[in-house]
Amino acid sequence: MTRKATSSDVAKLAGVSQSAVSRTFTPGASVSSKTRAKVLKAAAALAYRPNALARSLIVGRSRLIGLIVAHLDNQFYPVALEMLSNALRTRGYHILVFLATSNGDPVDDVLDTLIDYQVDGIVMGSASISTRLAQRCEAAGIPVVLFNRYQDDAKLSSVVSDNHAGARAIAEHFVAGGHRRIAHFAGWQNASTGRDRALGFREGLARHGLELASFVDTEFRPSVAKEAARAVFSRPDRPDAVFCGNDTLAFAVMDVLRYELGLRVPEDVAVAGYDDVPISAWPAYNLTTARQQADRLVKETVDILVARIEHAGAGPRSVVLDSPLVVRGTTRPVPG
């Protein structure tokens, strides 16, 4: 077996100290451009890469961030995952993705795995993971940021969109377009995102003396949204508009309306979603939706988490970002 090159080999070939090699491969460490160039040239010649695991034992940091998510079929999360990975990499960190399950109580298993990998921090994007996990991680000295959700706990950091205001704006848009029989296919009501969007939407309708014609908790599952669409929109008194708890649900509902029930969007039924994922702008959907500003959500999340990892005095913070309405072709034009 060929012996792997060591930092001593690189230092000898580059004509620098071993500490200079270490600084070259340490994010944020001070090293001159001339020294860096010599080290990188020598490392390339020797096919050398630093042992990240060994370094983590020395410095007491793995530079790994655990990301807990549940439903990657929600188109918002793959976009956010890529942004988070890129943003953390520029700060010298890398992501380990943990897929959570809503079956049983995953708290102990997930926590044990996170501790085994010695992650420096956690981004929690799964609504199926309980507050107890976040609290236990904090108690174990692992900073946590709740992404796209929050809990009523001042000790936990969170970054969310203003789901309440965004959903209320969709209700106002429907009413302004002349709709009166309005349905809501909501996201999971045990999650803050689903609850806040449902509450904001109801309040927006109530301002005009309207109540929901139909309400379904889809649990953010497209299959449930499809079944609900088949049932609700086959009735003689079907709603003339539906707000879906996210864009992925809206795509599922639109497919049923158009290709199974033969209804026109928006002439027969107006549809709105939430998130503004890239597919929402495709001509096939052209979906009216409330925009979650993923780039800003990610930036705030990374800033909070890195500050808590690298600065002992940094405390928890909660950030709420606006969620503007994006009007496209699935809703009626509003009279000027």
Q: List pLDDT tens digits, range 181-208.
A: 999 999 989 888 999 999 999 999 999 9
In the chain, how many domains are there? 3
Task: Identify whether residues 231 and 272 lie together within a single domain.
Answer: yes
> What pLDDT sits at residue 126?
67
At CA 118, angle to CA 314 and CA 301, rounded to 5? Answer: 40
At residue 138, what is the residue type?
Answer: E
> What pLDDT sits at residue 180?
96
- Using the predicted structure, report yes or no on whether residue 111 has a pLDDT greater than 90: no
CATH number at residue 213: 3.40.50.2300
- Using the predicted structure, report yes or no on whether residue 104 has a pLDDT greater than 50: no
Q: Could you tell me the two tokens for 320?
A: 């709420």
Distance CA 31, CA 314 (A): 27
Which pLDDT band, with edges at 50, 70 and 90, does 315 fall under?
confident
Closest CA to 139 of 117, 156, 160: 156
Task: Identify whether residues 27 and 133 lie together within a single domain.
Answer: no
Task: Identify whether residues 157 and 168 lie together within a single domain.
Answer: no
What's the pTM? 0.82
> What pLDDT sits at residue 153?
77
At residue 109, what is the residue type?
Answer: D
Distance CA 65, CA 143 (A): 10
Task: Identify whether residues 153 and 302 lie together within a single domain.
Answer: yes
Which pLDDT band, with edges at 50, 70 and 90, does 75 fall under?
confident
* C-beta atoms surrounding 336 within 10 Å: 3
At residue 13, what is the residue type?
Answer: L
Distance CA 312, CA 193 (A): 30
Task: Identify whether residues 197 and 285 lie together within a single domain.
Answer: yes
